[in-house]
Amino acid sequence: MTRWLAHVRNAFLLLAPIAGCSTQPPVPRAAHVEVARFMGPWYVIAVIPTRLERNAVNAVETYTLAPDGSIKTHFRYRDGDVSAKVKEIHAVGFVRPDTNNAVWGMQFIWPVKAQYVISWLDPSYQRVVVARDKRDYVWIMARTPTIDDKDYAALTARVADMGYDLSRLRKVPQAWPERSGR
């Protein structure tokens, strides 16, 4: 029995420093999100993409508050080129309690709800960073298809400060020929 306890102790001493180094604190959360004000279209400016978003162009995420309090999510994009066929993904968001409306569970397939953290939101609700504690995906979004370079640099600095690898961040092309009459 003593030998077994020694092995457990040694394993713990060996693995404890590794385990301690691999964990990161949760990503920051916006102090408060007015859900109704957050609703509407958000253009994806940059992303550490999911598999489906790797080649997204003209990506727009639109949120609609449902009567039951859930959030209908409509993600619209073109795959690889502005002339490609529009693709759409639908999900349902649920605000998690006691999070000041900043943490949602996003459900693409029942019953799984992926974490969706409104990590930073400007006071005018024109720019947002949506993140995850796993730091596997991140979205920089705006109410307009483009933002100026200064704002983009500030938002990517926020993402880096959260512990994300910026080499994985992809700027999403936003070109809207259908709006220019072409």
- Residue of 176 and 161 predicted with greater confidence: 161
For residue 6, report the phi and psi dihedrals to the nearest 5 degrees: -65, -40
- Residue of 6 and 123 predicted with greater confidence: 123
Give the confidence band of 178 by pLDDT, cuts at 50, 70, 90.
low
- Residue of 179 and 9 predicted with greater confidence: 179
Q: Tell me which amino acid residue 131 is.
A: A
DSSP string over the chain: -HHHHHHHHHHHHHHHHHHHHH--PPPP--S---HHHH-EEEEEEEEE--GGGTTEEEEEEEEEE-TTS-EEEEEEEEESSTTSPEEEEEEEEEEPTTSTT-EEEEEEETTEEEEEEEEEE-TTSSEEEEE-TT-S-EEEEESSS---HHHHHHHHHHHHHTT--GGG-EEPP---GGGTT-
CATH fit for domain 35-176, picks 3.65.10.10, 2.40.290.10, 2.40.128.20, 3.40.50.300:
2.40.128.20
What are residue 171's DSSP bridge partners? 46
State the Cα torsion 148-55-89-140 to the nearest 10°.
-30
Nearest to 107 by CA among 135, 140, 73, 65: 73
**Single pTM value for the model:** 0.84
What is the tens place of the pLDDT at every residue in 73-129?
Answer: 999 999 999 999 999 999 999 999 999 999 998 988 777 778 999 999 999 999 999
Average pLDDT, the chain: 87
What are residue 98's DSSP bridge partners? none
Per-residue pLDDT at 111 = 74
